[in-house]
Amino acid sequence: MDKEEAKAEKEKDMMSVSSENELLTCHAKFEAFPFFKTPRFLKGAKITLRLVTIVTTFIAMLCMITSHQSTTMLGTPLDARYSYSPAFRFFVYANAVACFFIFLSLLATIVFYLRGACPTNKCSYLFFLNDMMMLTMEIGGCAAATAIGEVGLHGNSHAGWGSICGYYGKFCDRVTISLVFSYVSIVSLFILTVISSMNFKENPL
């Protein structure tokens, strides 16, 4: 047993050293491109990512709101609206809130860059906190809408729920487009949060 434990400890140490070497390699690769750490690049990246987030969240919200479709089945008029689903409503609210607060942070970013009046430690923390909260909200809204959208697209044979996309094609297409733009905004917010955390790390409270 002692030999087996010693062997396991040795393998564990080797894996730890390997992980540390991989981290050092990644750090060295990042350091090899100092351009990506320059203030000019970071400023441009922040503004660009905030613009991308504003546009994608607005389009996602707009597509979901305008996804209404009416049809007739067996002589009975039926319609599909996002407002019928609490998950879709939450999705719209999440995108609206994210769009609004990222727009405010974009204005603040531009003002601070032009005037140079931003206290580094407090601003870095507030920007990081704002980006992280908006990212969390977007992930929650997108996850809820994706779950409901998947049921609408494929149904659920175990529960006896059929797919509705064969009857509400426009509705399902708009929801799909909305989700795609929302996922793009999540990626943009994630990168933005990473950049904000880098600034906060350099200027801690």
Q: Where are the domains positioned within the chain?
A: 1-32, 37-202
Q: Are the C-beta atoms of residues 196 and 184 closer than 8 Å to each other?
A: no
pLDDT in tens, the chain (205 residues): 444 555 545 554 554 545 455 545 555 554 544 444 556 777 788 889 999 999 999 999 999 999 887 776 666 777 778 888 899 999 999 999 999 999 999 998 888 777 765 656 677 788 888 999 999 999 999 999 999 888 887 777 776 677 777 777 888 889 999 999 999 999 999 999 888 877 665 554 4
User: For the structural domain made of 37-202, what CATH number should be given?
Assistant: 1.20.120
pTM, two decimals, is 0.74
